[in-house]
């Protein structure tokens, strides 16, 4: 059992840290430039095999990438993570040869952006209750329904959309489809004004008699729910990495602030240093959980429990660390433009998406009690 990154992983981590520190911006606008720079470095298809245009890197290396980018801009981290683990992996894992040829090189190269459309008004935590319909017609399906809170809605070039061919069949009716941007009958709503991850555009996605050819069905009819759940394992580790980035950024900011205060003659109280020590220890614990989940996923073994533990622990910590650090920095941190405020708002969003942390607890408990 090894508890440290290999020399190669440490060198990658340094590369990602340099990239994020020097190239990633933190404005209010959609981070198009960040994504372009990430694509130029091959980061939009980092864990995708080289034969499909990716970098063929291990899943843990990809997680290190998301952590470092999220330390600087969690919205950019979120867009890349969603694009990769639930926007590109569906085709890599479940696509036909033809689907892979058509979409993977563009997605892995960053010329195309991927998105994942599962959530509906009555089907968030309970994804099995979705009611978007896919009616079989000559040559394909007609999709009708409305998806909510879709990351990269309106920006993405390819959506993996989940709809049911027969609601009476429950999860066995849920089927996955690949829908291209600009398809007739696909409409996106206005971007949500979210509390956090604001640079990542999130919209409604309306399916209005949208025709999808049978060649764009992903897997068989009825495979959709299994596909969605298995993709979420990897997706959740990506969100856990965003949590690591946000918790790390909060602690780093606070350490810098306290050192500046000390340099100006203001001694750090013991209560403050103890709080910081607790957060630093918990961040190391979170890293072990997240990296282990990534290693299990990278080895090809099913990792639902590990992924849920990592997502729950790291994103809860991100909220706790950013909240606590705001307390520790006091007045200086209560300004709206202080980075800690952004870290807190972004961290809150990571607790919710790809399964709220209550849902992660359900997944973990189910594994324990089965
Ligand atoms: C920033 C962001 C990006 C997103 N991106 C996407 C995307 O790209 N694609 C997509 O499909 N969706 C996306 N979503 C939607 C997200 O996955 C859902 O918001 C999430 O699954 C929770 O669903 P809900 O909001 O409907 O909450 P609900 O399911 O209504 O839950 C409300 C509350 O009840 C709790 N709860 C629900 N069921 C239980 C239970 N059985 N036991 C205990 N507590 C429970 C939940 O934890 C939550 O606190 C995104 C959301 C956000 C915030």
Span 126-156, pLDDT tens digits: 999 999 999 999 999 999 999 999 999 999 9
Q: Are residues 360 and 338 in the same domain?
A: yes
Q: How far is CA 56 from CA 42, 242, 292, in A?
A: 10, 21, 20
Best residue for ligand 1 mutational test, from 75, 122, 124 (most atoms within 8 Å of Cβ): 124
Q: Are residues 341 and 285 in the same domain?
A: yes
Q: Any idea what DSSP says for residue 82?
A: I
Span of 91-105, 205-219, 261-275 with lowest mean pLDDT: 261-275
What is the per-residue pLDDT across 15-30, written as a single tens digit (0 to 9) for each? 999 999 999 999 899 9
Residue count of the chain, please give it: 370
Q: Are residues 266 and 350 in the same domain?
A: yes
- CATH number of the domain where residue 121 is located: 2.40.110.10
Q: How far apart, in whole angstroms, are the C-alpha atoms of residue 282 and residue 368?
A: 23
Distance between Cα 173 and ligand 1 center (Å)? 21
Q: Are residues 69 and 121 in the same domain?
A: no
Single out the residue of 261, 287, 236 nearest to residue 3, CA to CA: 287
Q: Are residues 73 and 23 in the same domain?
A: yes
Classify residue 150: in a domain, yes or no: yes
CA 104 from centroid of its chain's CA atoms: 19
Q: Are residues 128 and 154 in the same domain?
A: yes
Q: Of the residues 208, 262, 354, 358, which is catalytic?
A: 354
Mean pLDDT of 83-109: 98
CA 238 from centroid of its chain's CA atoms: 5
Among 189, 222, 255, the domain boundary falls at: 222
Active site residue 354: yes
CA 106 from centroid of its chain's CA atoms: 20
Classify residue 45: in a domain, yes or no: yes
For the chain, the maximum distance between any two Cα atoms, rounded to a whole number of angstroms, is 77
N-to-C CA span, the chain: 27
- CATH number of the domain where residue 36 is located: 1.10.540.10
Single out the residue of 50, 70, 46, 76 nearest to residue 58, CA to CA: 46
Q: Domain limits at 96?
A: 7-109
Distance between Cα 310 and ligand 1 center (Å)? 17
Among 109, 138, 154, the domain boundary falls at: 109
Q: Are residues 132 and 208 in the same domain?
A: yes
What is the per-residue pLDDT across 248-293, written as a single tens digit (0 to 9) for each? 999 999 999 999 999 999 999 999 999 999 999 999 999 999 999 9
Question: In sequence order, what are the beta bridge partners of 203?
Answer: 150
Q: Are residues 313 and 359 in the same domain?
A: yes
Read off the tokens for 368: 């324990």
Does the beta carbon of 352 lie inside 6 Å of ligand 1?
A: yes
Distance between Cα 246 and ligand 1 center (Å)? 20
Predicted model pTM: 0.97
Q: Are residues 351 and 284 in the same domain?
A: yes
Domain count of the fold of the chain? 3
Among 201, 222, 243, the domain boundary falls at: 222
């Amino acid at each position: 059992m090894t508890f440290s990154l290999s020399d190669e992983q440490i060198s990658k981590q340094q590369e990602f840290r340099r990239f994020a520190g020097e190239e990633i911006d933190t404005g209010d606008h959609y981070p198009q430039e960040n994504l372009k720079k990430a694509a130029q470095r091959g980061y939009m298809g980092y864990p995708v095999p080289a034969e499909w245009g990716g970098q063929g890197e291990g899943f843990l290396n990809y997680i290190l990438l998301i952590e470092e980018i999220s330390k600087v801009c969690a919205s950019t981290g979120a867009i890349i993570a969603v694009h990769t683990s639930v926007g590109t992996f569906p085709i890599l894992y479940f696509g036909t040869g033809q689907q892979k040829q058509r979409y993977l090189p563009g997605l892995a190269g960053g010329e195309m952006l991927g998105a994942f459309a599962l959530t509906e008004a009555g089907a968030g935590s309970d994804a099995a209750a979705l009611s978007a319909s896919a009616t079989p017609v000559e040559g394909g399906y007609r999709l009708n329904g409305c998806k909510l809170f879709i990351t990269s809605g309106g920006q993405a070039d390819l959506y993996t959309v989940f709809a049911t061919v027969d609601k009476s069949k429950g999860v066995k009716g849920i089927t996955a489809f690949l829908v291209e941007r600009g398809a007739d009958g696909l409409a996106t709503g206005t971007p949500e004004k979210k509390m956090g991850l604001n640079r990542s555009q999130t919209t409604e996605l309306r399916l209005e008699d949208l025709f999808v050819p049978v060649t764009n069905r992903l897997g068989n009819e009825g495979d959709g729910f299994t596909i969605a759940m298995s993709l979420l394992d990897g997706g959740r580790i990506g969100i856990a990495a965003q949590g690591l980035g946000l918790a790390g950024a909060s602690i780093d900011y606070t350490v810098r602030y306290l050192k500046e205060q000390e340099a100006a003659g203001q001694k750090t109280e013991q209560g403050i240093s103890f709080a910081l020590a607790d957060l630093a220890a918990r961040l190391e614990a979170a890293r072990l959980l997240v990296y282990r989940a990534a290693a299990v996923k990278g080895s090809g073994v099913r990792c639902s429990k590990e992924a849920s533990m990592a997502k729950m622990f790291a994103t809860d910590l991100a909220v706790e660390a950013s909240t606590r650090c705001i307390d520790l920095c006091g007045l200086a941190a209560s300004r709206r433009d202080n980075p800690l405020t952004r870290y807190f708002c972004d961290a809150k969003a990571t607790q919710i998406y790809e399964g709220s942390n209550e849902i992660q607890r359900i997944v973990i408990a189910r594994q324990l009690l089965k």
